[in-house]
Structure 1
Amino acid sequence: MPALNNTTAPKTPEQPQPKRTSRFTAVRVWWATTWSEGGVLHQRWEDLRRAPKGGWHGMAHWIKAVLGLAGICLVILLLDGATDVLADAIHYLLTADDRRETDPLNAEGRASTSPGTGAPFSPPEE
């Protein structure tokens, strides 16, 4: 009967381990591959280089999409700024105070109790 506690594995010829490359070396190889002739980054660079000569109809579709997205973002930013300015102007107009230092009806020279230009919209005082 063979021994049950035998933990040694049978001897097999060792296979050569594949040579490990560092992560930095792998990135360098990838970078060189993408910039080589026919690589992804090289093709995109060529698209950008040819865009001014080709005009709108000869331009790559991804460039048109990027330009369109940038234009839409710019319009959104401008509209956001315009709404802030408009809201501040309306707030200023509605809360404007048309008080004078001396009210002709007020002989003591105290400040007027007029609620300003928003008076038609304010609830009546009791």
Structure 2
Amino acid sequence: MPNNDKPVNGQDNPSFLDMLNQLPPVPPAPELDGKPGTRRLARLRAAWKESWEEGGFLYQRWEEVFQARHASWHEVANWIKAAALFGGLSLIVMMLDAAGDIASATLKGLSAVPASGAGDGSGLWGTVDHPVRVFLADQAAHLSVAPAALYASWQLTGLVGLVGGFFGNAGARIAWLLFGIGSLAMIWSAAPAGGRAAATGLAALMWALASMFALRGLTLRPVVHNHPPQFQPQFSPTLHLHAWLPAPTPAGDDFGDEPDNVHPLQR
């Protein structure tokens, strides 16, 4: 296949001009004389058919797409990588834009909610919920936000912490812990003086029961990971023995048969 682009990382960069270069000549036909549009359409039809044959432009691109399912990222064709990155970035931008619009609409809706009643505080849940409403209503009087918006934010934080903590998200579990501590502080501050301890204790008990789901699987035991070292030195002890061998005895030596007082003559 003709290709004028230089290879990158050992891969050829396909070009749409390659398919146009494969256009076969259309033989002149009497019925096409005087009809340039029809002749051009026939040439494009022939090029489309030719590109899907073995060795054609579209045939090779389809083979690259088929092989990309079983290949690593470095082995995938460059044009597939570019298309995947462009599509992923476009999807992220769309998701961020939609999330921004949703968050803006939610905050505007919470700010426009009229102040809700503090409730009568009756019942088991009212004993815990009523002091929170009263505390938030007192604080909202000094802020430019409706009490209902503060109460909705408090509920939303607890819901996100509970659900996210159930699925093991660390940030959601931190938010759940802060939600419980803040709730206990608000109940202690706004509950009637006579039942302050009982209301706070009841809230702590309910928060502890809900923590069984929000902190599911959390343990205080240290986790020890035993990973073998990547490099294990090889010890090969070697014992070197040095033996001193006596020099060979010359031939004809009778190994000291001469008496000790006999010495060779020396000049």
Please indicate the TM-score interval, normalised by the length of the shorter structure: 0.5 to 0.7
1:55-110 CA-partner distances (Å, limit 9, x unpaired): 2111101111111111111111211121111101210222221055xxxxxxxxxx
Query: d(CA) in 2 for partners of 1:121 and 1:89?
Result: 17
1:54 has 2:54 as partner:
no
Query: d(CA) in 2 for partners of 1:30 and 1:78?
Result: 40
Query: After alignment, is 18-27 or 67-76 more displaced?
Result: 18-27
1:78 has 2:95 as partner:
yes
Deviation at 1:43, TM superposition (A): 1.2
- Of structures 1 and 2, the larger Rg is shown by 2
Alignment equivalent of 1:34, drawn from 51, 68, 71: 51
Partner secondary structure for residue 55 of structure 2: coil
Distance change in 2, residues 1:33/1:25 (3 Å): same
1:1-126, aligned counterparts within 5 Å? 18-19=28-29, 20=32, 22=38, 23-98=40-115, 120-121=143-144
Query: d(CA) in 1 for partners of 2:142 and 2:116?
Result: 13
TM-score relative to the length of structure 2: 0.30
Query: d(CA) in 1 for partners of 2:111 and 2:75?
Result: 53
Query: d(CA) in 1 for partners of 2:68 and 2:92?
Result: 24
What residue ranges of structure 1 are gaps of 5+ in the alignment?
1-17, 101-116
Distance change in 2, residues 1:91/1:31 (3 Å): same
Query: d(CA) in 2 for partners of 1:84 and 1:64?
Result: 30
Query: d(CA) in 2 for partners of 1:56 and 1:34?
Result: 26
Give the ranges of 4+ consecutive aligned residues of structure 1 lying more than 6 Å apart after TM superposition. none
Aligned amino acid, residue 64 of structure 2: D
Q: Is the 8 A contact 1:95 1:118 kept in 2?
A: no
Q: Is the 8 A contact 1:47 1:59 kept in 2?
A: yes
Aligned amino acid, residue 82 of structure 1: A
Partner secondary structure for residue 37 of structure 1: coil
TM-score relative to the length of structure 1: 0.59
Aligned residue number for residue 219 of structure 2: none
What residue ranges of structure 2 are gaps of 5+ in the alignment?
1-27, 118-139, 146-267
